[in-house]
Amino acid sequence: MSNNTLGRHFCITSFGESHGEHVGVIIDGCIPGLQLDLKYIQYELDRRKPGQSNITTSRKEDDSFRITSGIFKGITTGAPICILIPNQNARPNDYDHLKDVYRPSHADFTYEKKYGIRDYAGGGRSSARITAGWVAAGAIAKMILQEKFSVDIQAYVKQIHSVSCPDSLPVSKEAIEASIVRCPDPDAAKQMIAAIESAKEQGDSLGGIVRCSIQHSPVGVGEPVFQKLQAQLAHAMMSINASKGVQFGSGFDSVLKKGSELNDAWTIENGQPKTQTNNSGGIQGGISNGMDIYFDVAFKPTATINHEQDTLNKDLEPVKLSATGRHDPCVVPRAVSIVEAMAALVMVDNLLHRL
Amino acid sequence: MSNNTLGRHFCITSFGESHGEHVGVIIDGCIPGLQLDLKYIQYELDRRKPGQSNITTSRKEDDSFRITSGIFKGITTGAPICILIPNQNARPNDYDHLKDVYRPSHADFTYEKKYGIRDYAGGGRSSARITAGWVAAGAIAKMILQEKFSVDIQAYVKQIHSVSCPDSLPVSKEAIEASIVRCPDPDAAKQMIAAIESAKEQGDSLGGIVRCSIQHSPVGVGEPVFQKLQAQLAHAMMSINASKGVQFGSGFDSVLKKGSELNDAWTIENGQPKTQTNNSGGIQGGISNGMDIYFDVAFKPTATINHEQDTLNKDLEPVKLSATGRHDPCVVPRAVSIVEAMAALVMVDNLLHRL
Amino acid sequence: MSNNTLGRHFCITSFGESHGEHVGVIIDGCIPGLQLDLKYIQYELDRRKPGQSNITTSRKEDDSFRITSGIFKGITTGAPICILIPNQNARPNDYDHLKDVYRPSHADFTYEKKYGIRDYAGGGRSSARITAGWVAAGAIAKMILQEKFSVDIQAYVKQIHSVSCPDSLPVSKEAIEASIVRCPDPDAAKQMIAAIESAKEQGDSLGGIVRCSIQHSPVGVGEPVFQKLQAQLAHAMMSINASKGVQFGSGFDSVLKKGSELNDAWTIENGQPKTQTNNSGGIQGGISNGMDIYFDVAFKPTATINHEQDTLNKDLEPVKLSATGRHDPCVVPRAVSIVEAMAALVMVDNLLHRL
Amino acid sequence: MSNNTLGRHFCITSFGESHGEHVGVIIDGCIPGLQLDLKYIQYELDRRKPGQSNITTSRKEDDSFRITSGIFKGITTGAPICILIPNQNARPNDYDHLKDVYRPSHADFTYEKKYGIRDYAGGGRSSARITAGWVAAGAIAKMILQEKFSVDIQAYVKQIHSVSCPDSLPVSKEAIEASIVRCPDPDAAKQMIAAIESAKEQGDSLGGIVRCSIQHSPVGVGEPVFQKLQAQLAHAMMSINASKGVQFGSGFDSVLKKGSELNDAWTIENGQPKTQTNNSGGIQGGISNGMDIYFDVAFKPTATINHEQDTLNKDLEPVKLSATGRHDPCVVPRAVSIVEAMAALVMVDNLLHRL
Tens-digit pLDDT profile for residues D162-185:
999 997 667 899 999 999 999 999
355 residues of chain B, pLDDT tens digit each: 799 999 999 999 999 999 999 999 999 999 999 999 999 999 999 999 998 988 888 878 899 999 999 999 999 999 999 999 999 987 777 788 889 999 999 999 999 999 999 999 888 999 999 999 999 999 999 999 999 999 999 999 999 999 999 976 678 999 999 999 999 999 999 999 999 999 999 999 999 999 999 999 999 999 999 999 999 999 999 999 999 999 999 999 999 999 999 999 999 999 999 999 999 999 999 999 999 999 999 999 999 999 999 999 999 999 999 866 677 899 999 999 999 999 999 999 999 999 8
Contact (CB<8Å) D5/A21: no
Nearest to A114 among B225, B268, B287 (CB): B287
Q: What percent of chain C has pLDDT over 70?
A: 98
Number of domains in chain B: 1
Nearest to C113 among D4, D220, D248 (CB): D220
Amino acid B95: pLDDT: 83
For chain A, say whether D75 makes contact (Cβ under 8 Å): yes
With contact defined as beta carbons under 8 Å apart, do B121 and B95 qualify?
A: yes
Roughly how many angstroms between the first and final C-alpha of chain D, as a whole number?
26
Amino acid A169: pLDDT: 67
User: Does the pLDDT value for residue A209 go beyond 80?
Assistant: yes
Which chain A residues are closer than 8 Å to D79 by Cβ? 4, 15, 17, 119, 124-125
Distance CA B144, CA B341 (A): 12
Tens-digit pLDDT profile for residues D57-85:
887 889 999 999 999 999 999 999 999 99
User: Does the pLDDT value for residue C92 go beyond 80?
Assistant: no
State the DSSP string of C311-346: EEETT--EEEEE--S---S--HHHHHHHHHHHHHHH
For chain D, say whether A15 makes contact (Cβ under 8 Å): yes
Q: What is the ipTM of this complex?
A: 0.98
SS (H, E, C) C149-162: HCCEEEEEEEEECC
Q: By residue range, what is the domain housing residue A75?
A: 5-354
Q: What is the CATH number of the domain that holds B209?
A: 3.60.150.10
Which chain A residues are closer than 8 Å to D29 by Cβ? 1-3
Nearest to B199 among A243, A258, A299 (CB): A258
Determine the distance in angstroms separating the CA of B345 from the nearest CA of chain A, rounded to an integer: 13
Say which residues have a Cβ less than 8 Å from residue A304's Cβ, sequence separation at least 6. A103, A106, A205, A323, A325, A327, B259
Task: State the DSSP H helix or E strand holding residue B274, giving kind and residue range, or none if neither.
Answer: strand B272-275
Contact (CB<8Å) B259/A316: no
Amino acid C84: pLDDT: 98
Q: Is the pTM of this model over 0.90?
A: yes
With contact defined as beta carbons under 8 Å apart, do D274 and C270 qualify?
A: no
Summarize the confidence of residues C334-339 as an average pLDDT. Answer: 98
Residues 78-97 of A with CB under 8 A from D: 78-82
Which chain A residues are closer than 8 Å to B301 by Cβ? 254, 257-259, 262
Average pLDDT, rounded, for chain D: 95
State the DSSP string of D255-275: GGSBHHHH---EEEETTEEEE
Summarize the confidence of residues A60-85 as an average pLDDT. Answer: 96
With contact defined as beta carbons under 8 Å apart, do B345 and B10 qualify?
A: yes
Amino acid C325: pLDDT: 63
Say which residues have a Cβ less than 8 Å from residue C208's Cβ, sequence separation at least 6. C157, C158, C159, C160, C161, C192, C298, C299, C330, C332, D255
Amino acid D94: pLDDT: 79
With contact defined as beta carbons under 8 Å apart, do D165 and D184 qualify?
A: yes
- Reported confidence tier of residue D293, pLDDT bands at 50, 70, 90: very high
Distance CA D29, CA D9 (A): 6
Residues 222-281 of C with CB under 8 A from D: 222-228, 230-239, 243-252, 254-260, 262-268, 271, 273, 275-276, 279-280
For chain A, say whether B127 makes contact (Cβ under 8 Å): no
Task: State whether residue D250 is helix, strand or coil.
Answer: coil
Q: Say how many CA atoms lie within 13 Å of B251 toward its Cβ.
A: 18
Contact (CB<8Å) B286/A107: yes
**For residue D249, which of D288, D222, D219, D218 has the smallest C-alpha distance?**
D288
Tens-digit pLDDT profile for residues C41-84:
999 999 999 989 888 888 788 999 999 999 999 999 999 999 99
With contact defined as beta carbons under 8 Å apart, do C283 and C295 qualify?
A: no
User: Does the pLDDT value for residue D324 go beyond 70?
Assistant: no
Strand partners, C13: C5, C26
For chain A, say whether D68 makes contact (Cβ under 8 Å): yes
- Reported confidence tier of residue A274, pLDDT bands at 50, 70, 90: very high
Summarize the confidence of residues A141-156 as an average pLDDT. Answer: 97
State the DSSP string of B298-341: EEPPPS--SSEEEEEETT--EEEEE--S---S--HHHHHHHHHH
Contact (CB<8Å) A119/D24: no
Summarize the confidence of residues C344-348 as an average pLDDT. Answer: 98
User: Does the pLDDT value for residue D307 go beyond 70?
Assistant: yes
Tens-digit pLDDT profile for residues D10-31:
999 999 999 999 999 999 999 9
Task: State whether residue B211 is helix, strand or coil.
Answer: strand
Which chain B residues are closer than 8 Å to C24 by Cβ? 68-69, 82
With contact defined as beta carbons under 8 Å apart, do C331 and C128 qualify?
A: yes
- CA closest to B321 among chain A residues: A265
Contact (CB<8Å) B80/C117: no
Task: State whether residue A212 is helix, strand or coil.
Answer: strand
Nearest to D28 among A9, A13, A75 (CB): A13
Distance CA C78, CA C71 (A): 8
- Report DSSP state, residue D38: H
Residues 181-200 of B with CB under 8 A from A: 199
How many Cβ contacts (< 8 angstroms) between chains A and B? 335
Contact (CB<8Å) D2/A124: no
Summarize the confidence of residues A84-92 as an average pLDDT. Answer: 88
Which chain D residues are closer than 8 Å to C163 by Cβ? none
Contact (CB<8Å) D115/A20: no
Contact (CB<8Å) A33/D80: no
Strand partners, A154: A213
Q: Which of A285-289, B323-327, C315-319 has the lowest mean pLDDT?
A: B323-327
Contact (CB<8Å) B28/C5: yes
**For residue C200, which of D257, D280, D258, D279 has the smallest C-alpha distance?**
D258
Q: Is the alpha carbon torsion for D169, D171, D172, D174 positive or negative?
A: positive
With contact defined as beta carbons under 8 Å apart, do C88 and C62 qualify?
A: yes
